[in-house]
């Protein structure tokens, strides 16, 4: 079935019902209900179908989970040593293996494993939305955005989404000035997926409270260099892969430019440009919380053109694009002020229409295939 044809109307209709009495309690309930549905959908998918249809590594993750049943802890520690000290494969991220082993102590059911593991993403995602959303319409946009642009990567079961979740926890710790906690969450994210290193710069910028003027300047500069990144994505990807010691990602840059995900590329840059135009320095001074999330926009603008080389580079952008769930609604508030409901209706309608035109994701539960 086309799962988006159910999920998008569901979040819109439910949101409109809660909008009749928009308060903190109802926003929390709305977030809990929607994220619980997303969690169920992500965990109960058919790994085989996702792999065969979308080329996502769902089946590989299922096999990895099952292979840890017979892995002893001595073998695990040997793998960890080889990964970080013995020049082992950069595919063997020991944090993800440990996650598989720990949950595997309680269940051998991959769907139940996914249900528990996916909480690493949905719990911090829900907390951030609850803390920093200001109205139900903004949450409706956030969830339609998630369904249209993010969901397929979580449903794929990718360990990178768990790393994104841990990085969101690190960001919350930085905001709360909990330095040790932030370091722990960030390092855990690195052990799940090495690309989590891309989130270090935003974390440091948030910790040091970079000024709004500096952020706006950085954002503008990233748009100026956008054509350069768009013209030479392979060279940049190769350099990043070699610098990070990831031969897999360096190899992406050595192949011919493949294109792909052009709609995602265009939409991300368009939304980033919208935020550059409508969110002023004075707005960030008035709302320091949004200044925190604005840190993500220069990186989003800079790295999104890499998608032109290979559609899989969307994974790099996920660390930043997830925060558009808050930044775009804030931009709408800045643009329309008290009459923001019209802006939300236009944004939600446009994104829903785009998702329908592009085509929703075909979905099967694991018991169907």
Q: Is the dihedral of CA 288, 290, 294, 296 positive or negative?
A: positive
- The domain ranges of the chain are 4-358
Local confidence pLDDT in tens for the 369 residues of the chain: 678 889 999 999 999 999 999 999 999 999 999 999 999 998 888 877 677 666 667 788 888 888 888 888 888 888 887 877 766 555 558 899 999 999 998 999 989 999 999 999 999 999 999 999 999 999 999 999 999 888 877 777 678 899 999 999 999 999 999 999 999 999 999 999 888 999 999 999 999 999 999 999 999 999 999 999 988 888 888 777 766 566 666 666 666 555 556 888 899 999 999 999 999 999 999 998 889 999 999 999 999 998 887 777 787 899 999 999 999 999 999 999 877 899 999 999 999 988 777 666 777 788 877
Token pair in block for residue 324: 């558009």
d(CA 195, CA 198) in angstroms, rounded, equals 6
pLDDT at 53: 66
d(CA 352, CA 271) in angstroms, rounded, equals 15
pLDDT at 38: 95
pLDDT at 159: 84
130 φ/ψ angles, rounded to the nearest 5 degrees? -65, -45
CA nearest 41: which of 1, 8, 3?
3
pLDDT at 359: 60
How distant, in Å, are the alpha carbons of 108, 120, 219 from that of 175?
37, 19, 21
d(CA 329, CA 148) in angstroms, rounded, equals 16
The answer to whether 344 and 138 are in contact (CB under 8 A) is yes
- Kindly write down the DSSP assignment for every residue of 305-350, as one continuous string: GGGGT-GGGHHHHHHHHTTHHHHHHHHHHHHHGGGHHHHHHHHHHH
pTM: 0.91
Q: How many CA atoms lie within 13 A of 344 on its CB side?
A: 26
pLDDT at 73: 84
d(CA 205, CA 203) in angstroms, rounded, equals 5
Residues in the chain: 369
d(CA 81, CA 87) in angstroms, rounded, equals 9
d(CA 273, CA 224) in angstroms, rounded, equals 12
Contacts of 192 (CB under 8 A, 6+ apart): 93, 95, 96, 99, 159, 160, 162, 163, 166
pLDDT at 313: 78
* 3-state DSSP assignment of residue 45: strand
Token pair in block for residue 79: 């793998």
pLDDT at 357: 72
d(CA 257, CA 191) in angstroms, rounded, equals 30
Provide the 10 A C-beta neighbour count for residue 140: 27
């Amino acid at each position: 079935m086309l799962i988006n044809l159910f999920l998008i109307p569901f979040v819109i209709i439910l949101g409109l019902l809660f909008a009749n009495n928009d308060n903190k309690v109802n926003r929390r309930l709305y977030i809990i209900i929607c994220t619980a549905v997303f969690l169920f959908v992500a965990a109960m998918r058919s790994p085989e179908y996702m792999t065969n249809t979308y080329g996502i590594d769902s089946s590989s993750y299922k096999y990895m989970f099952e292979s840890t049943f017979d892995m002893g802890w001595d073998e695990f520690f040997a793998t960890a040593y080889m990964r970080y000290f013995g020049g082992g494969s950069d595919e063997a991220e020991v944090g993800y293996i440990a996650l598989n082993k720990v949950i595997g102590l309680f269940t051998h059911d991959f769907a139940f494993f996914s249900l528990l593991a996916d909480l690493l993403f949905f719990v911090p995602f829900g907390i951030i939305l609850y803390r920093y959303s200001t109205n139900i319409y903004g949450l409706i946009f956030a969830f339609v955005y998630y369904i249209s642009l993010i969901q397929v990567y979580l449903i794929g079961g990718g360990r990178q989404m768990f790393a994104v979740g841990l990085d969101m926890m690190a960001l919350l710790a930085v905001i709360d000035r909990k330095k040790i906690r932030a370091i722990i969450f960030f390092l855990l994210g690195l052990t799940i997926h090495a690309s989590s290193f891309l989130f270090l710069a935003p974390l440091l910028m948030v910790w040091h409270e970079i000024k709004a003027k500096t952020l706006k300047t950085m954002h503008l500069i990233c748009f100026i260099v956008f054509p350069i990144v768009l013209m030479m994505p392979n060279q940049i990807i190769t350099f990043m892969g070699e610098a990070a010691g990831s031969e897999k990602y360096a190899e992406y840059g050595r192949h011919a430019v493949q294109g792909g995900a052009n709609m995602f590329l265009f939409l991300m840059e368009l939304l980033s440009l919208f935020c550059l135009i409508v969110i002023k320095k004075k707005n960030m001074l008035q709302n320091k919380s949004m200044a925190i999330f604005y840190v993500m926009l220069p990186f989003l603008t800079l790295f999104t053109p890499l998608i032109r080389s290979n559609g899989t580079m969307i994974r790099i952008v996920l660390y930043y694009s997830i925060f558009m769930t808050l930044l775009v609604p804030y931009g709408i508030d800045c643009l329309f002020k008290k009459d923001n409901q019209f802006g939300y209706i236009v944004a939600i309608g446009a994104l829903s229409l785009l998702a329908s035109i592009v085509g929703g994701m075909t979905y099967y539960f694991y018991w169907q295939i």
